Structure 1
Amino acid sequence: MPTLITARASRTATARLGLQSLSFGRSRKRLLWLLPTFVLVNFFFFRSGIGIGDVVPPEDAASPNEGTRRHLLADGQPDCVRPSIEHFPGDFMTQEQRQQGGVVLHFIIVIYLCGILGYICDDYFVPSLEIIADTLKVPSDVAGATFMAIGTSAPELFSSIIGSFITEGDIGVGTIVGSAVFNILGVTGVAGIAVWNNDVPIDWFPITRDCVMYAVTVVALIGVISNNIVEWYEALILILMFLAYIVVLFFNAHIEYYSLVKVEALRKKWFEHSDAAADKEQDDEATPLVKSFQERQEFATTQRRDSAVSADLERRRRDSILVSESVCKLEEQEEQESVWYMPREGSVGQVLWVLFWPVRFLLHFTVPDCRKESLRRWYSLTFILSVVWIGGVSYLTVWMVTIIGYTIGIPDSVAGITVLAAGTSVPEVFSSVIVARNGLGNMAICNLLGSNIFDVLFCLGVPWFLKAVFASRSHEVFINSAAMTYTSVTLLSTVVLLFGTFVITRWKLNYKVGFACLIMYIIFITLACMYELNVFGDFNPPTCA
């Protein structure tokens, strides 16, 4: 009978090893299938237009969507939208000068402004938020989803506010959607390439949790903008969903414990069923020993269940130690930097120090650096002045991007999806690469997914709600481009593909994941821009002459 138990254990182990080797053998083939599948799914959406938000001339309008388009453009107006450049001050160049090469200078200005945004967020805004969270005794998960998300997504938030209240165009929602794709695929790709051959482990539970929450968020966004009109109560629903997300994070340890118990039960049930048929005739003979063996197994399982929360706390403690070490290294480096002394090492660092010295000089005298112990008590003033700086620089950035789009002849949504989305995601790129290189794969990916959830639910929900309630007689916010609905739909495919990539690579972050994500990002951006430019149909109204 002991031989019987040993044989059963051997068969179970062999079955597990067989499944693992089979999965490993097919992983590369499955990874290769992701790219053509992604292209085919997106091309299907492009060609079919997924049946929502099609644009037709007003005189032929009969369906609710067509009436919406006529309402959007106002009765008696031509089927076009006013250029957003009219809502900004005049440029220092004429349209002819920009078309002859002056637009390159505007690109350089945008890059410089995005660098300023990253510097303000990293050195002033985020440290003030960390002190606020510490002062209020906010749990780390909740602080990460609120204060830290506000810090890294401040440019997107202000871009959305400017797009809703000033330009009244799609540059805000385009920036949010574009930065969401850039975060999931672009930043993950850069982080994967940065770690190269070092397989950074990824825990399945936090990634699964945030992927599910993000998928629900995208579905809600699709439902809100599907008819190109955002009602005030729809914006309120987005805000309430964000509050629900914070509640989920607050009870994260309990949810993870429950999930681990369920997974353990399903795993045990699966292997019991796999052995039941082979051992059915011998169960009566081996009942005493088998029961004893099962009792020991159940006791071990119970211990594993009881240690789920402890394991979560241990993982957080380990991550916290790594974060502290990384922060200490960064603080030591920052202590060596000064507004008055050029760094001695690295020619690139010296060039950047010279280029950004005027901004560093102004910030040194206008915003207290609460990272210094002597100025720590002024964190509230640092927070307020950082918000003022970020708002002003974001306004200049959106202004320059609007001029670039008008000069090249592309819609606001395209400018938001491409240039502005990548520019405002600069903080996420640097932070994710740093934490990934330090072995914090969970923090790198969860930060991106959490930032996207914050962008969609808060950075769109709050400006839309304020606009609909206080600045619109009809209590509605209009979306010009019907193509934004398609772009939002494809966000679902990106998060599914990201999750599938980690499953195939056995929850590892490396250069394979990096290259796969970057290729998918290039494909997505190419098709999205073609869709916004009406290559596949009339989805985006032209700009009025």
Structure 2
Amino acid sequence: MLLSFLLLILGLTFVSIGADKVVEGASAIAKKLRVSDLVIGLTIVSFGTSAPELVVNIVSSIKKNSDIALGNIVGSNIFNILVVAGLSAMIRPISVKYSTLKKEIPLSFLAAVSVLALGNKGNNLPSIITRGDGIVLLSFFAIFAAYVFEMAKKDREMFEEMEMERLKNISTWLAVLYVVGGLAGLVIGGRWIVSSATQIARALGVSDKMIGLTIVAAGTSIPELATSLVAAVKGNSEIALGNVIGSNIFNIFFILGISAVLNPVYYPTALNVDIALLLIITVFLILFSRDLKINKIEGALMVATYVGYTAYLIIRG
């Protein structure tokens, strides 16, 4: 038990320091590349913090354990919106760019719709997300990547002279080292947190089902949570929200696409409820963002919704 507590503290330390360095390094890279923090949040940060989901899904697909592969993605996306974005907004209201409201969030909605459509192809349910479906998802990801590239080009054309005082004299190589090292700290620290919390819960008599529905379900989203919370504290809402939306798009179009290409993914009909929730909360994210801000009350509503969803999962078993 003592070792588990020490590992938990060490994991939290790694995650805290890693998140701080990722945000600082990513923001510096954005300025040096003359692109917005949103572009960096949608790409480097969101892809990096999705590394745990990518590893879990590739291993699950190779082992033909598609329940974990699909459940991990849907669960992580719900957690990202309700908890990561919700808690970030509770710390400090999140400013939303117009392009995020009109393009990126609707694209994450399209991603969820695509899973629902591919998982319910006709009357012969349960369905399978085939290798061909995986290629379709990867094609959507290629379109998203091209869109972000165009956004970056426009940023560079419009960017004024860099504000050197905001760079804190961080060199390019050090900024990259901050991001890479920070992401490594997030992944390693996240694994230690999940492992130690699971051992502590078992020692306290908590059932494996409860552990699976809570600690492990949220475990792969620890990097997103830590990074967005640190970004919110520092007032960098573009990275905070870009990380959430980018991760959700990356999870479905790229990670699920890769998973399906490796091995067709079984789609259980019970997942329709979770996908429906993902669609609903994405719509609410759009509604909350209409005034280009997600305030603290809206953030609290999102977190409360996740508490209710977790209770539903426990009852559903």
- What is the CA deviation profile of residues 236-265 of structure 1, one whole-angstrom value per residue up to 9, with x for unaligned ones? 2111111111112223389xxxxxxxxxxx
Letter in 1 for 2:266: F
- 1:418 corresponds in structure 2 to 214
1:275 maps to none
Counterpart of 2:310 in structure 1 is 525
Aligned to 1:477: 265
Structure-2 change in CA distance of 1:371 and 1:500 (3 Å): same
1:161 and 2:58 aligned: yes
**Cα pair distance change 1:434/1:122, threshold 3 Å:** closer
SS where residue 209 of structure 2 aligns?
coil
- Aligned position for 2:74: 177
For the pair shown, the structure with the greater C-alpha radius of gyration is: 1
Could you say what secondary structure the match of 1:482 adopts? coil
Corresponding residue SS for 1:251: helix
User: Where does residue 501 of structure 1 map in the other structure?
Assistant: 288
Give the aligned partner of residue 514 of structure 1.
299
Question: Structure 1 pair 447/510, CA: closer, same or farther in 2 (3 Å)?
Answer: same
Uncovered stretches (5+) of structure 2, i.e. residues with no partner: 121-125
Deviation string for 1:379-429 (max 9, x for gaps)?
9xx78x959x95898599589869979x82539xx82x5323422222322
- Contact persistence 2:197–2:215 (CA under 8 A): no
**Could you say which residue in structure 2 is the equivalent of 1:217?**
111
Equivalent in the alignment of 1:371: 174
Tell me by how many angstroms 1:213 deviates: 0.3
Q: Which amino acid aligns with 1:500?
A: L
Instruction: Work out the CA distance in 2 between the residues paired with 1:478 and 1:321.
Output: 50
The CA RMSD measured in Å over matched residues stands at 4.7
Distance of aligned partners of 1:131 and 1:201 in 2 relative to their CA distance in 1, 3 Å threshold: closer
Question: What fraction of aligned residue pairs are identical, expressed as a percent?
Answer: 25
Measured after TM superposition, the shift of residue 495 of structure 1 is 0.6
* Residues 238, 461 of structure 1: 8 Å contact kept: yes
Give the aligned partner of residue 489 of structure 1.
Answer: 276
Q: 1:250 aligns with which of 138, 149, 153?
A: 149
Give secondary structure in 1 for the equivalent of 2:72: helix
Shift of 1:454: 0.8
Secondary structure of 1:410's partner?
helix
* Corresponding residue for residue 189 of structure 1: 86
- In the superposition, the TM-score normalised over structure 2's length comes to 0.73
Q: CA deviation at 1:152?
A: 1.3
Residue pairs, 1:198-217, within 5 angstroms: 201-217=95-111
1-side partners of 2:28 and 2:289: how far apart? 34
SS, match of residue 478 in structure 1: strand
- Residue 233 of structure 1 deviates from its aligned partner by 1.0
Equivalence for 1:540: none
- Give the secondary-structure state (helix, strand or coil) at the position aligned to 1:371: helix
What is the count of residue pairs matched by the alignment? Answer: 304
Q: Which residue of 242, 256, 275 maps to 1:460?
A: 256
1:188 deviates by: 1.9
- Alpha-carbon separation, structure 2, partners of 1:401 and 1:165: 25
Following superposition, the deviation at residue 490 of structure 1 comes to 1.5
CA contact (8 A) 2:232 2:240 kept: yes
The answer to whether the Cα contact below 8 Å between 1:121 and 1:151 also exists between their aligned partners in 2 is no
| Residue pair 1:207, 1:446 contacting (<8 A) in 2 also | no
Shift of 1:219: 0.8
SS in 1 for 2:174: coil
- Matching residue of 1:81: none
Contact 1:231/1:477, CA 8 A, preserved across alignment:
yes
1:124–1:442: structure 2 CA closer, same or farther, 3 Å change rule? closer
Specify whether residues 509 and 495 from structure 1 end up closer, same or farther in structure 2 by C-alpha distance, changes over 3 A only.
same
Q: Kindly report which structure 2 residues correspond to 1:282-431, keeping only aligned pairs within 5 A, or say none.
A: 313=158, 325=166, 328=168, 371=174, 386=184, 390=187, 394=191, 408=207, 410=209, 415=212, 418-431=214-227
Q: Which amino acid aligns with 1:509?
A: I
TM-score by length of 1: 0.46
The AA in structure 1 aligned to 2:293 is K
Counterpart CA distance in 2 for 1:487 and 1:113 is: 33
1:105–1:231 distance in 2 versus 1, CA, 3 Å: farther
| Structure 1: segments with no counterpart, 5+ residues | 1-101, 255-308, 332-369, 469-475, 534-545
Distance in 2, Cα, partners of 1:154 & 1:488: 22
